[in-house]
Amino acid sequence: MTSDAEPDTAYERSFTVAIDGPAGAGKGTVAKALCTQFGFAHLDTGLLYRAVGKLAMDTGRGVIDEGAAELIARDLRAEHLGIRGLRTALAARAASRVAKFPGVRKALVAFQREFARRIGGAVLDGRDIGTVICPEAEVKLFLTASAEARAERRYLELTAAGAETSVAKVLADIRARDAQDSERKSAPLRQASDAHLLDTTEMDIDAAAAAAAAIVDDALGRAAS
């Protein structure tokens, strides 16, 4: 959940970086790079929803009940973010499903907001960080890429981990997830009006991380002046 790397800089106040965008755009990798460079703590908020979705699915033996998911979200602890199976396509679909439940989202808001204002700085990545969770964040980034580019990246990750799938199947999952995230009534995925847009379709991860770091560095300079 948090970055254990030794920071290059030390920040003695709260400072929030909100990163939003669709699956596979590079949010998590950029977030970790920022944490390493600036010494911030990292919260992958998608893991919160994956954990709730996975636990709800396990409890319901494959069926996700809204009431059960809300109870699980209320009792969620940091240790739940380390349970097995959270990086699978099945957990991703379950996460998108429970993220549509207003009660689940409400239960997880306090957890995220408390983390965001910790002393020393924090980076949160997800779908509604800049729009709902941390609208007052000092830096907001919106990372995106074409569905095809994101599917190829996800396919390589899955096959490297031993999963048997195809680019076509991953692309179908990506498009279905995009539709669910963008069309849900509660906190849909969208770019905040004051967020910096980074399209990573033609960008390697080092270039994306460098672009994000330049934005954060500029904001830190203005905050210190």
Query: Where would I find the H helices in 60-165?
Result: 66-74, 89-98, 102-116, 147-160
- Secondary structure E strands in 114-202: 122-126, 139-144, 196-199
Q: Angle 84-178-67 (CA atoms, 0-180°, nearest 5)?
A: 55
**What pTM was computed for the model?**
0.81
| Rounded mean pLDDT, 25-40 | 95
Could you tell me if 36 and 117 are in contact, meaning their C-beta atoms sit under 8 angstroms apart? no
Evaluate whether 151 touches 29 at the Cβ level (below 8 Å): no
Distance between CA 31 and CA 44 in Å, rounded? 9
| pLDDT-derived band at 166, boundaries 50, 70, 90 | very high
CA torsion, points 114, 119, 121, 122, in degrees to nearest 10?
A: -20
pLDDT tens digits, residue range 180-202? 888 888 788 999 999 999 999 99
Q: What is the pLDDT of residue 187?
A: 80
Percent of the chain at pLDDT above 90?
70
Residue type, 202: E
Indicate if the pLDDT at residue 221 is higher than 80.
Answer: yes
**Rounded Cα distance, 141 and 127, in Å:** 11
